[in-house]
Chain A
């Protein structure tokens, strides 16, 4: 299990024990995190799993693919340099302690 933290827009934070190999989106859905929808199930098609990754972890994440980059142009909340799609981030041990901020809206 890898511990990750979701910080909602209203400031509350929840720490979740995610399974290795799950995506950050799946870990949110299976733990009932409200601020992530994940409508497309992780195919980088809906942009409803948008998160802002804390600075310290940005370089530890897999690089942005063209498809994710394209889809980040479709997020409802503004895209920032820390924006990623949670469904494109696979949880590994190296990501223990990862924290993400959830945007105000996903859809």
Chain B
């Protein structure tokens, strides 16, 4: 058996086109759209020799692989490392990187904590915080939409909703980024992330303990499940950790990318101003259009086929969600940001049993922010060209100086 990037190099069929590309090349990570287009063009699957893996980027096949948890498992890691042959950088997530039946147990608990009902109770406080922040930004006029808005808002409301009492903005945002970089190959991004982990992880772990959490919040609901005997005390801590690793950087990115979409498409922003109820659809379409999580992996658990293409057992498959979400086969005018589109079924939040369990929270945060922006901001102007921050799994802005003009 041969190993590449800590997974098994399987003998894939010669019919699958070979493409010697590095999906983790910094330039591709910063500007992935041409890579997405070529990936779809070359075939339903391509074989990438340097990583001995398959990649898919057409909608139908990507959806099939990403959602069929029996044939394409998550328990062997959603990054390049195959947990059945190598050790992950930290104990794997007990919801993202496990399969049923165990997954059902943890997922039930975390889904309860983040249910539509639990989230709707936060609506008013999210709206109040969003209004305060946007008022401040309107006074300042020109600011960095990444640090001052996209990071500032989730860091203000999300850890508090979990029940954290201590807020360390850098640790919270970077913890997610480190975890997502860990999903890539052994490159500079992953190494730098791991080097940073030793500073962040102890703080995060301490915040996940029962004693550290407020008596009400997502965290408390999870610990209540431990009291009821559904999960252990240790598992409760692990699930709270999952919230912090998956819930900050992703939402930061989703909000930032939506501002970018609106700044780049003033016509769509006018529609949002005319009807602030489009705040949620504007965010949803930005998720489709920019895919904050650009790709995650699966591992084939048996010899199988997708759309007639043979896939050997043990193969790592990179599911390029960002590409599937721009596939012309699925989306009309796929390359346009249109807030009135109803992009139901996009893959930005995953699909099926692992579909994002935090999506109600993400949407509630975005709805709060973009509703106030719709009501109070007259125009969003880019001050200079935004820059993107390469990450092995996240497509996020690094900085974006903008000006908010009053109505």
Contact = CB atoms under 8 A, between A and B. Distances in A.
Chain B contact-residue range equals 20 to 34
A61 interface: no
B346 interface: yes
B353 interface: yes
B350 interface: yes
A46 interface: yes
Nearest to A75: B116
A63 to B, nearest CB: 13
A67 B349 contact: no
Given A43-B351, A74-B117, A66 B357 contact: no
Nearest to A43: B355
A60 B354 CA distance: 26
Contacts of B353: 43
Nearest to A73: B117
A39 B119 CA distance: 15
Given A66-B104, A71-B111, A45 B344 contact: no
Interface in B313-351: 344-346, 349-351
A45 B345 contact: no
B222 to A, nearest CB: 13
B117 A45 contact: no
A47 B344 CA distance: 14
A39 B360 CA distance: 10
A44 interface: yes
B108 A74 contact: no
B133 interface: no
Interface string A12-42: 0000000000000010010000000111111
B111 A42 contact: no
B267 interface: no
A98 B359 CA distance: 30
- What are the 8 A-B residue pairs with the smallest beta carbon separation, nearest first? A43-B355, A74-B116, A74-B117, A66-B108, A74-B115, A41-B345, A70-B112, A67-B108
